[in-house]
Structure 1
Amino acid sequence: MFDFDMLGLSPSLNTALQNANFTQPTPIQNQAVPLALAGHDIMGLAQTGTGKTLAFGLPLIDHLLAEPGKPAPKTAKALVLAPTRELVNQIAESLRPLVAGSKLRIATVVGGQSIGRQINLLARGTDILVATPGRLIDLMDRRAVDLGEVRHLVLDEADQMLDMGFIHALRKIAPRLGTPRQTMLFSATMPKQMEELSRAYLKDPKRVQVAPPGKAADKITQSVHFLPKAEKPGKLREILDRDPGALTLVFSRTKHGAEKLMKGLVADGYNAASIHGNKSQGQRDRAIKGFRAGDISVLVATDVAARGIDIPGVAYVINYDLPDTPDNYVHRIGRTARAGREGEAIAFCAPDEGDLLRQIQKVMKTEVPVASGTFPEGEAGAGTGRRPGGQRRGNRGQGKPASAAPSKGRRPRRRRAA
């Protein structure tokens, strides 16, 4: 069954979708693609993992296929801005199969890579430029890129760009873009600043929304373990040993904490790697590649990976440390249960993280079921102190509450790559 042909895309693009094994559009694609094809500016709101990349990528490619002529040197016809290197690479990887067989070119520019090589790449021009704002401004300052021919602008994960201070970069980039142009803004949340951003850069946008901001994907089973900080390492190993080889993404709050946790896991025989801001782009790319291939089964990350990792096979997301920003919890756990699959999100909550958990539950408008432990009186969830009694999914052999104490004095068994 192929349903993309109902969206009004060109025959060649429908063929590319079929060759890439895409058959049915997601709700955000169903809503956004026809409006974007008609030329409207788009404000898209959808939780992570719902197919936002194709929601803007399909109409973008369709428009470019209909435009004659190749790009002039140093120019681009379309610009996609994303906040992180990982997300830039993921967007490009998602779009490349859809331009296979056409003359459209996709180029990426991010920090942490040779700027000289990127200057040479842009010298011949490109149809779609996917970039992080900081590196793009570096290239603009060196006069290596001319954005005057850009007629399509996409701001992906715009809320995270605001959080990371990229609004100042956007103010430098926007005046250099061509006009008239179509602008599409996609975000998982809708802070007040986003309304201001849309008024500044979008013209009479059509708003599409498929899930309330802060809502996690329906197929994610959530649970929380209340435990002292010192017991987190043992609980993590206990959970990892229940499903050896399953792809597990573990989030740490700090770069130092992520690296220390990863080294401890490797010392105990786990196939683990880490990605964070102190890693080079090459190291980060190799870690994600190994994780996607199953050569690495445990990836420890900071919030640099909360958005930008699209690996359908991630079975578990473990919040070793709760995030400082509630919205980041939703983005983190959205790394599992992707592409219609099921997934499990497990959180560790130490006594000093109680306020963070309350904020997370307030944003999600629901309580996370308790798998083990109890919170200090007056601190649990909405202040009830009750244990919701979360159960783990039985299809992983976990039909009872995860309340067993972590084993002591036993070295976790070594595991082979999945």
Structure 2
Amino acid sequence: MLAKKKMRLDICRFLTLDEADKLVDGDFEDVTRYIFDHLKGQRQTLLFSATMPTKVHEFARRALVKPVTVSVGRAGAANLDVIQEVEYVKQEAKIVYLLECLQKTPPPVVVFCENNAAVCKVHEYLLVKGVDAVSFYGKEMEQTDRDRAVALFKAGKKDVLVATDGASKGLDFPNIQHVINYDMPAEIENYVHRIGRTGRCGKTGLATTFINSQQSETTLLDLKHLLQEARQRIPPVLAELSDPVELGVVGTATNADGCAYCGGLGHRISSCPKLEQQRSQQLASLRSRDYFGSGGYRGEM
């Protein structure tokens, strides 16, 4: 519309970009700069994002005048109201184990997959097993179908939403009990956005993530650091990973260094009894009944 001169931005004085990390990613940055060029005179520009990767900082330095950063907590950190569970599941066993994971909490539940094909596969499997699920994915799905899926899920007419990262931002789903990362994303920022769908407005949520040999060690190290920062239990498969940076700083760490969570000696955070007790109490409040057997999940197809 700007290129065809069907509209002007001459009197615009405020410019707000939500989900700024995606708007400056790839080809979107060129389009965003093109729009910037059509604003005349002084303006105030606001960039909002749950994560602040390097590309956002670089864009702000190039496109804005004396940018100021306002942080609520640490940008890119996980919500402390979300209980994060990471489980090693072989690639061929994930789709079967998914049914067991759905038992952890009542609906609604969001299942995230890395691509459209995986979404369709998981969605069809859940329907066959009697789970009332709906799918949401990218370009191959019509916008009307996406709108319908979101409306049904928000209205509580569907228990499970199987989606790509397109549903991790910009969509507000109230009272999500459980987020399942069927595929661990390659970028840790996407993981933060995904699990942020639950644990909102002061409520406790649960996030379960499947990992296996398909993930790179770099991604798993990022996940390990995120869990440590949020004081979550570190599964053995991640605890065994050695960070070259950490090795260079702390040298040969021993159990004498104490637990990062409770400060006790003789154990590390991955086996902290106080942390395990706290997590067990929180999970007990989420797992009160058999949601498939007692009708928590509907079997309509």
When normalised by structure 2's length, the TM-score is: 0.78
In structure 2, the partner of 1:396 is 286
1:191 Cα offset (Å): 2.6
In structure 2, the partner of 1:279 is 141
Q: 8 Å contact 2:110–2:160 — kept in the other structure?
A: yes
Letter in 2 for 1:220: V
Q: Secondary structure at the match of 1:313?
A: coil
1:216 Cα offset (Å): 0.9
Task: Tell me, in whole angstroms, the C-alpha distance in 1 between the residues paired with 2:293 and 2:242.
Answer: 33
Q: Secondary structure at the match of 1:141?
A: coil
Q: 8 Å contact 2:130–2:298 — kept in the other structure?
A: no
Residues 319-338 of structure 1: matches in 2 within 5 Å? 319-338=181-200
In structure 1, the partner of 2:265 is none
Q: 8 Å contact 2:169–2:193 — kept in the other structure?
A: yes
1:305 Cα offset (Å): 1.4
Q: Secondary structure at the match of 2:48?
A: strand
In structure 2, the partner of 1:210 is 72
Number of aligned pairs? 267
Change (3 A) 1:143 1:318: same
Change (3 A) 1:220 1:144: same
Residues 12-161 of structure 1: matches in 2 within 5 Å? 139-161=1-23
Once the two structures are overlaid, the 10-residue window that deviates more, 381-390 or 229-238, is 381-390
Change (3 A) 1:283 1:192: same
In structure 2, the partner of 1:360 is 223
In structure 1, the partner of 2:261 is none
Q: Deviations over 1:40-80 (max 9, x none)?
A: xxxxxxxxxxxxxxxxxxxxxxxxxxxxxxxxxxxxxxxxx
In structure 2, the partner of 1:346 is 208
In structure 1, the partner of 2:108 is 247
In structure 1, the partner of 2:233 is 369
Letter in 2 for 1:173: I
The answer to whether the aligner puts 1:263 opposite 2:124 as a matched pair is: yes
1:375 Cα offset (Å): 3.0
Q: Deviations over 1:190-241 (max 9, x none)?
A: 3333233223333334431111122111111111111211221122101213
Q: 8 Å contact 1:268–1:414 — kept in the other structure?
A: no
Q: Deviations over 1:245-267 (max 9, x none)?
A: x1111110111111111111111
Letter in 1 for 2:126: L
When normalised by structure 1's length, the TM-score is: 0.57
Task: Tell me, in whole angstroms, the C-alpha distance in 2 between the residues paired with 1:325 and 1:168.
Answer: 22
Task: Tell me, in whole angstroms, the C-alpha distance in 1 between the residues paired with 2:288 and 2:213.
Answer: 26
In structure 2, the partner of 1:406 is none
Task: Tell me, in whole angstroms, the C-alpha distance in 1 between the residues paired with 2:103 and 2:242.
Answer: 28
In structure 1, the partner of 2:92 is 230
Identity %: 32
Q: Secondary structure at the match of 1:346?
A: strand
Q: 8 Å contact 1:227–1:351 — kept in the other structure?
A: no
Task: Tell me, in whole angstroms, the C-alpha distance in 1 between the residues paired with 2:227 and 2:24.
Answer: 21
RMSD over aligned Cα atoms: 3.2
Name structure 2 gaps, 5 residues minimum. Answer: 248-252, 254-267
Q: 8 Å contact 2:177–2:198 — kept in the other structure?
A: yes
Higher RCO, 1 or 2 (CA under 8 Å, sep at least 6)?
2
Letter in 2 for 1:326: I
Q: Deviations over 1:355-402 (max 9, x none)?
A: 22222223565475257xx53994489999995475451212379xxx
